[in-house]
Amino acid sequence: MTNKINIFDYYMDFEENNVIIYYKGPFIETILAKISEDIKSRFDTDPLTSKKIFSIFIELAQNIAHHSAERNVFGEARIKISGNGTFQLSESDEYFTLVSGNLIRNEDVPEIIDKCNTVNELDIEGLRKLKRDLRNLPRREGHKGANIGLVDIAIKAQNPLRVEVTPINEDFSYFIISVDVSKTSKAE
Amino acid sequence: MENIEIKGEKTEFFIPTVNFNAETGVCEIAGESYLEETFEFYQKLIDWLNQYTSQGKKTLIFNCKLTYFNTASSKAILEILRLLKNYQESGADVKINWFYHEWDDDMKMEVEDLGLDADVKIDLLTF
């Protein structure tokens, strides 16, 4: 193999783009808890922005843990299955940017793009209404979440969701979602 | 009737601290809520409240001091608020206090929306 990944190039890319946190691997709780704590302590001078970043991270991470098409199975006595994915937090002068990436099945692509488009067409009042409507639906059998993560992300960020889907093969695509949080964010 | 006493922790998931007191009728939930089995956790609290509210018209004070809860938890919290609303409508004295940090505009908005959905009065107080 000659085309080895160059760790130094990675490092320089991250430095140039002001990447604060980058994680790739299984989205298991022990790791998520540590990343959460890191986010909270890092931005403790601006509690509202810090909480927005933390809340959005948790919803993105749960999406990966529950829905990533790339699964890991841990343990023998008590088997835990979790999704694999990538999370990145970076900053520019005006924004913090959160990005998540994971594999999805091609048949799930239209639904997820639909959801994101719906969210992006709404203003804050429309998003609050949609969140309430979704929360009022009955619990979904076999689902752990409330299915309102993306709506909540848009409410907290007060910025549109950017979505990128890259087909890999006939079964899978790579799904990237990113969102900005303004450094001077104020809820309306 | 036994009290519920759960000590919160944040090692893996975020388990809130819960103190529901059957003698005083003061029910308090605090800390952060992000759980592995959200609905199972909250079902225990809902069952307790159902039992408490079925024993006459005893006063109930619900103090929510959660500083963070994920969207799945918010769905369960809404169920609790609806239960309290029903108890109030049956003629019982129910008071709901929600504590939040003054800077937390997102929490204020969330509580307003939960109050709208449950159609119940929530008193917002700052920590």
pLDDT 10s digits, B26-45: 999 999 999 888 999 999 99
Distance CA B27, CA B50 (A): 13
Chosen from B66, B81, B106 to mutate, greatest number of chain A CBs within 10 A: B106
**Residue B104 Cα, gap to closest chain A Cα (Å):** 6
User: How is chain A split into domains, by residue range?
Assistant: 7-106+160-182
* A6/A187: higher pLDDT: A6
The pLDDT assigned to A29 comes to: 81
Which residue on chain B is closest to A66 by alpha carbon? B36
The dihedral region occupied by A187, where left means phi > 0, alpha psi between -120 and 50, and beta the remainder, is: beta
The pLDDT assigned to B52 comes to: 97
The pLDDT assigned to B11 comes to: 79
Which residues of chain A have a Cβ shorter than 8 Å from any chain B Cβ? 29-30, 33, 37, 47-48, 51-52, 54-55, 58-59, 62, 128, 131-132, 135-136, 139, 144-146, 148-149, 152, 155-156, 186-188
Do residues B77 and B42 lie in contact, with contact meaning Cβ atoms separated by under 8 Å? yes
Distance CA B24, CA A183 (A): 45
Q: Per-residue pLDDT for B122 more than 80?
A: yes
Which residue on chain A is closest to B102 by alpha carbon? A48
Q: Per-residue pLDDT for A184 more than 80?
A: no
pLDDT digits (tens, 9 = 90+) for A55-99: 999 999 988 988 888 887 666 655 566 789 999 999 999 999 999
The proportion of chain B whose per-residue pLDDT surpasses 70, expressed as a percent, equals 100
The pLDDT assigned to B48 comes to: 97
Q: Per-residue pLDDT for A187 more than 70?
A: no
Cα distances (Å, whole numbers) of residue A98 to A23, B91, B105: 12, 48, 21
Joined together, the tokens standing for residue B50 give 């159902």
Q: Count how many pairs of residues, chain A against chain B, have C-beta atoms within 8 Å.
A: 73
The proportion of chain A whose per-residue pLDDT surpasses 90, expressed as a percent, equals 60
* B11/A153: higher pLDDT: A153
pLDDT digits (tens, 9 = 90+) for A96-129: 999 999 999 999 999 989 999 999 999 999 999 9
Chosen from A28, A43, A44, A51 to mutate, greatest number of chain B CBs within 10 A: A51
Which chain A residues are within 8 Å of B116, Cβ to Cβ? 132
Which residue on chain B is closest to A157 by alpha carbon? B106
The pLDDT assigned to A3 comes to: 66
The dihedral region occupied by A175, where left means phi > 0, alpha psi between -120 and 50, and beta the remainder, is: beta
Q: From 3.40.50.300, 3.30.565.10, 3.30.750.24, 3.40.50.720, which CATH number describes the B4-126 domain?
A: 3.30.750.24
The pLDDT assigned to A145 comes to: 60
Q: Per-residue pLDDT for A30 more than 60?
A: yes
The proportion of chain A whose per-residue pLDDT surpasses 70, expressed as a percent, equals 87
Which residue on chain B is closest to A139 by alpha carbon? B75
The proportion of chain B whose per-residue pLDDT surpasses 90, expressed as a percent, equals 88
Cβ B113–A131 below 8 Å, yes or no? Answer: yes
Q: From 1.10.287, 4.10.830, 3.30.420, 3.30.565, which CATH number describes the A7-106+160-182 domain?
A: 3.30.565
What is the residue-averaged pLDDT of chain B?
A: 95
Q: Per-residue pLDDT for B21 more than 90?
A: yes
* A43/A18: higher pLDDT: A18
User: How is chain B split into domains, by residue range?
Assistant: 4-126
Distance CA A178, CA B76 (A): 28
**Residue A92 Cα, gap to closest chain B Cα (Å):** 23
Confidence of residue B12 (pLDDT cuts 50, 70, 90): confident
Joined together, the tokens standing for residue B32 give 């952060």
What is the residue-averaged pLDDT of chain A?
A: 87
Q: Per-residue pLDDT for B113 more than 80?
A: yes
Three-state SS for B13-63 is CEECEEEECCCCCEEEEEEEEECCCHHHHHHHHHHHHHHHHCCCCCCEEEE
Q: Per-residue pLDDT for A188 more than 60?
A: no
Q: How many CB atoms sit inside 10 A of residue A104's CB?
A: 20
